[in-house]
Chains A and B, each alone.
Chain A
Amino acid sequence: MTDLYQTQRAMRALRRAAIQRGVVAILDVGTSKIACLVLRFDGYETQADGDGVGPMAGQSTFRVIGAATTRSRGVRFGEIAVMNETERAIRTAVQAAQKMANVRVDHVIACFSGAEPRSYGLAGEWDLQDSVVTEQDVARVLAACDVPPLGDGREVLHAQPVNFALDHRSGLGDPRGQIGNRLATDMHLLSVDGSVIQNLVYCIKRCDLELAGIASSAYASGIASLVEDEQELGAACIDMGGGATGISIFMKKHMIFADAVRMGGDHVTSDISKGLQVPMAVAERIKTKHGGIQATGMDDREMIEIGSDSGDWEKDRRTVSRTELIGIMRPRVEEILEEVRVRLDAAGFDSLPSQQIVLTGGASQIPGLDGLASRILGNRVRMGRPLRVQGLPQAASGAAFSSAVGLCLFAAYPQDEWWDFDIPTERYPARSLKRAMRWFKDNW
Chain B
Amino acid sequence: MQPLGRSPFRRDPAPTYWAYKMQRLWLTPLFRVAFRVGLPAFAIAMVAGLVLMDQGRRDAISGGFAHIRDQFQARPEFRVGLMSIEGASPDLADAVRARLGVKLPASSFDLDMTALRAKAQELDAVASAELSLRSGGVLQVVIKEREPMMIWRVAPDRLEMLDATGHRVAALAARGDRPDLPLIAGQGADASAIEALALIDAAGPLLPRMRGLVRVGERRWDMVLDRDQRILLPQDSPVEALVALLEMNTADDLLTRDVTTIDLRVAARPAIRLSPNALTEARRARGLIDDDKKKKTGSDL
Contact = CB atoms under 8 A, between A and B. Distances in A.
Interface string B77-117: 00000000000000000000000000000000000000000
B15 A104 contact: no
A134 interface: no
A89 B14 contact: yes
Interface stretch (B18-26, B153-161, B224-232): B18-26
Nearest to B12: A88
A91 B14 contact: yes
Contact of A98 (B12, B13, B23): B23
B28 interface: yes
A70 B13 CA distance: 9
B27 interface: yes
A102 B28 CA distance: 10
A95 B23 contact: yes
A207 B20 CA distance: 8
A91 B13 CA distance: 10
Interface residues of A, number: 14
A104 B24 contact: yes
B28 A88 contact: no
Interface in A80-97: 88-89, 91-92, 94-95
A438 B23 CA distance: 65
A102 B12 CA distance: 23
B274 to A, nearest CB: 115
Contacts of A103: 27
Contacts of A42: none
A22 to B, nearest CB: 12
A53 B26 CA distance: 41
Nearest to A102: B27
Q: Which of B13, B19, B21 neighbours the largest number of chain A CB atoms within 10 Å of its CB?
A: B13
Contacts of B23: 95, 98-99
Contacts of B14: 70, 88-89, 91-92
Nearest to A99: B23
Contacts of B20: 91, 94-95, 207-208
B15 A92 contact: yes
A104 B24 CA distance: 6
Contacts of A94: 20
Interface in B4-22: 12-15, 17, 19-21
Contacts of A207: 20
A25 to B, nearest CB: 12
Interface in B22-55: 23-24, 27-29
A208 to B, nearest CB: 6
A207 B19 CA distance: 12
A94 to B, nearest CB: 8
B21 to A, nearest CB: 7
B27 A98 contact: yes
A69 to B, nearest CB: 12
A267 to B, nearest CB: 25
Nearest to A71: B13
Nearest to B23: A95
A208 B24 contact: yes
Nearest to A94: B20
Contacts of A208: 20-21, 24
A102 B23 CA distance: 10
Given A91-B20, A207-B20, A104 B13 contact: no
Nearest to A70: B13
Contacts of B19: 95
Contacts of B12: 88
Interface string A90-128: 011011001100111000000000000000000000000
B117 to A, nearest CB: 65
Contacts of A70: 13-14
Contacts of A95: 15, 19-20, 23
Nearest to A206: B17
A85 to B, nearest CB: 9
A164 B14 CA distance: 48
Contacts of B28: 104
Q: Which of A94, A98, A104, A208 neighbours the largest number of chain B CB atoms within 10 Å of its CB?
A: A104
A70 B14 CA distance: 9
A95 B20 CA distance: 7
A89 to B, nearest CB: 6
Contact of B13 (A92, A99, A102): A92
A78 to B, nearest CB: 20
Contacts of B21: 208
Nearest to B21: A208
B130 to A, nearest CB: 68
A98 B24 contact: yes
A91 B24 contact: no
A104 B13 CA distance: 20
Interface in A6-54: none
Contacts of B13: 70, 92
A89 B14 CA distance: 6
A410 B23 CA distance: 28
13 contacts: A70-B14, A88-B12, A88-B14, A92-B13, A92-B15, A95-B19, A95-B20, A98-B24, A98-B27, A102-B27, A103-B27, A104-B28, A208-B20
Nearest 6 A-B pairs (CB), nearest first? A88-B14, A104-B27, A92-B14, A91-B20, A95-B15, A104-B28
Given A70-B14, A91-B20, A103-B27, 13 more contacts: A88-B12, A88-B14, A89-B14, A91-B14, A91-B15, A95-B15, A95-B19, A95-B23, A98-B27, A99-B23, A104-B27, A104-B28, A207-B20
